[in-house]
Structure 1
Amino acid sequence: MATPTTPTTVTLSNQSGDTAMLVSSTYQGVPNVIKSFQTILFQQNTSLNTFGSAMYAMGNIATWVVVWTANNQVATSILPAGTNVIWEEIWSTIRPDKVESSYTTSYGWEYNSEVQISSNGDAQTLTAKISTIPTN
């Protein structure tokens, strides 16, 4: 018997001013590049006992991680470029429905990530956005 799947509509929005380059993902079809001020929409089927994830390099400055599960939980993290991703730390931040993360760079800009997930019982919608603001 096949494992049931949860169709997930994923929207990734890059409002950061930097090009996002895919580092890794748990699924094929995740876009390799998300240009600055571009929003990408795609479909994934998440097995009920698994998760989806995408990790992007934000230029040479930061790494953006987004994780979601079939039971409406999400995690996100923004790390300095070159930092090893410790998946145990990412998973320790997983929460139902909505999470946020931020990282202030050495030159004074703050990256913010907001991730939301919702379900109607038959399908999920995931929205993830990365943006920057000067912290003067």
Structure 2
Amino acid sequence: MAAPTTPTTVTLRNSSGDTAMLVSSTYGGVPKAIQSGGESSEFQQDTSLNSFGSVVYAIGNIATWVVVWTANNQVAISILPAGAPIVWTDIWDKIQRDNAHDSYTTSYGWKYDSAARIESNGDAQVLIASIVALPPN
């Protein structure tokens, strides 16, 4: 069975306080850096080439932000401590329809929170994923 060919517009928003630097991606056109608090970074994914996509960004030297999505409205997010191995089966186990959320609290009490929403109108798909940093109470 052929994979769906619904094009995906991906918007990544970074409000972490650090520049997000691309570590890896399964798709071209992904921005190499996303400034914190700057404008959103947006790119198109042609799902006739890939039925899923993923990006991995280093958030300063504190955390790793992973976003995975499919051409049929499924998404997963993971925030890991910097340098921690990415266990892809753990991330794929978290994939779900429409929305995803994850958080990570550093040893200094800072909390990194990420959410994603993916939806389709049948002809196209939109994914919006964001990461924010919240200071200790």
TM-score by length of 2: 0.94
For residues 115 and 76 of structure 2, the distance between their equivalents in structure 1, rounded to whole angstroms, comes to: 9
Partner in structure 2 of residue 79 of structure 1: 80
Query: Closer, same or farther in 2 for the Cα pair 1:108/1:95, shift >3 Å?
Result: same
Query: Closer, same or farther in 2 for the Cα pair 1:48/1:95, shift >3 Å?
Result: farther
Which stretches in structure 2 are left out of the alignment for 5+ residues? Answer: none
Q: Do 2:19 and 2:35's aligned partners in 1 also have CA atoms closer than 8 Å?
A: yes
Cα deviation for residue 4 of structure 1 reads 5.2
Query: Closer, same or farther in 2 for the Cα pair 1:122/1:25, shift >3 Å?
Result: same
> Once superposed, which parts of structure 1, at least 4 consecutive aligned residues long, lie more than 4 Å away?
none
What CA deviation, in whole Å up to 9, does each residue of 1:48-100 have, x standing for no partner?
87210000000000000000000100000000000000000000000100010
Same amino acid, percent of matched pairs: 67
Q: 5 Å matches for 1:113-124?
A: 113-124=114-125
Alpha-carbon RMSD:
1.6
Partner in structure 1 of residue 14 of structure 2: 14
Q: Do 1:114 and 1:130's aligned partners in 2 also have CA atoms closer than 8 Å?
A: yes
1:36 aligns with 2:36: yes
For residues 84 and 134 of structure 2, the distance between their equivalents in structure 1, rounded to whole angstroms, comes to: 22
What residue identity is the alignment partner of 1:37?
Answer: G
Partner in structure 1 of residue 61 of structure 2: 60
Q: Do 2:4 and 2:71's aligned partners in 1 also have CA atoms closer than 8 Å?
A: no
Partner in structure 2 of residue 23 of structure 1: 23
How many residues align? The count is 135
What CA deviation, in whole Å up to 9, does each residue of 1:87-122 have, x standing for no partner?
000000001000100000111100000000000001
